[in-house]
Amino acid sequence: MRIVPTELPGVILIEPVVHRDARGFFLESYHLERYRAAGIAGPFVQDNRSHSVRGTIRGLHLQVGQHAQGKLVRIVQGEIFDVAVDVRRGSPTFGRWVGMALGADSFCQCYIPPGFAHGFAVLSDTAEVEYKCTAPYDPASEIGIAWNDPALAIAWPIDTPILSARDEHHPPLTALSDRLPVYSSTAR
């Protein structure tokens, strides 16, 4: 596999080795030691899967405190624009975001460490997204940030998204300052 760093330290793109022949393909979608060597420590304790239609934006979401989640995202069907936002107070990259197209045909994955908000926009007719989490879902630890927060200025490829009722009402990042995680230069 090939590890591609992004502009945000800790957020990485993983390009797996895909073995193709007349039968189809084979790849490792996860290998504990290889991912650990790449800085993705885990452990992963929960797998999630979503199915969404074109024009959907899910996010921006994160869990904070003792239930902070790292996420290893992969696309099983379709294509998305995946976004990670550094929301760790005191981080040199606080409020910055990185976005990338992820599709089932490329088999690429994105790792988003704890302390980063995550969201995605569906670019294909439908998309199925799977992600491994380093902590179980805990509703009391979850916070959301407005997908269209002008201070973040995320260049979403969708102007009028389909949103959940919850995602329609998330506050801007500045309204969450007391709930945001704190940056630690020793954390990974």
Asked if omega into 60 is within 30° of 0 (cis), the reply is yes
| Catalytic (active site) residue 31 | no
Among the listed residues 35, 111, 118, 131, the single catalytic one is: 131
Among 85, 101, 83, CA closest to 152: 85
Angle at 44 between CA 87 and CA 27, to 5 degrees: 105
From the list 17, 30, 51, the residue with the least C-alpha distance to 111 is 30
Per DSSP, which regions of 31-122 are E strands? Answer: 46-53, 57-63, 71-77, 79-86, 97-103, 109-112, 116-122
Catalytic residue among 30, 61, 67, 183: 61
Amino acid letter for position 166? R
Active site residue 61: yes
Known catalytic residues? Answer: 61, 131
